[in-house]
Amino acid sequence: MSQAKRIIPPSQQGFYDNYHFAPAVVDGQHLRCSGVIGIDLASGKVPPDPATQFAQAFDNLAEVLGAAGVGFADITEMTTFHVGLQANLEAFMAVKDRYVKAPYPAWTAIGITELAIPGGLVEIRVTARMPG
């Protein structure tokens, strides 16, 4: 693993420094992203509105993907962890479909009781194929 490249966008350097994890790692032909939540990186808070929070999570993920030189079309697998899965799934899917287009990646959605950030409703983890 020591040869793997860490991907740390400037706005997410604090996660690496304070919580000791990389937002993503390039491992051979794959980008493996840590879970991304809908936190406003400037304020450190999650928006109370679910759809706004979901869009923020995808925007944060877009920043990680872009720092690695890939985009949403390169995602091959997505796992999402949801607080209130049934209550928020329709809103989540509407936001997801603005970012993730056909052909769709493999996707697993898992209901959970809480996330590390109070008020967080979703955490998105993806694997993407690197170019070349």
What are the pLDDT digits (tens) for 100-110? 999 999 999 99
- pTM score, two decimals? 0.95
CATH superfamily of 5-129: RutC-like (3.30.1330.40)
What are the pLDDT digits (tens) for 47-70? 999 999 999 999 999 999 999 999
Distance CA(129)–CA(27), nearest Å, equals 10
Domain ranges for the chain, please list them.
5-129
Q: Which amino acid is at 33?
A: C
Contact indicator for 122, 82 with CB cutoff of 8 Å: yes
- Distances in Å between the alpha carbon of 101 and those of 3, 31, 54, 74, 76? 32, 19, 16, 10, 12
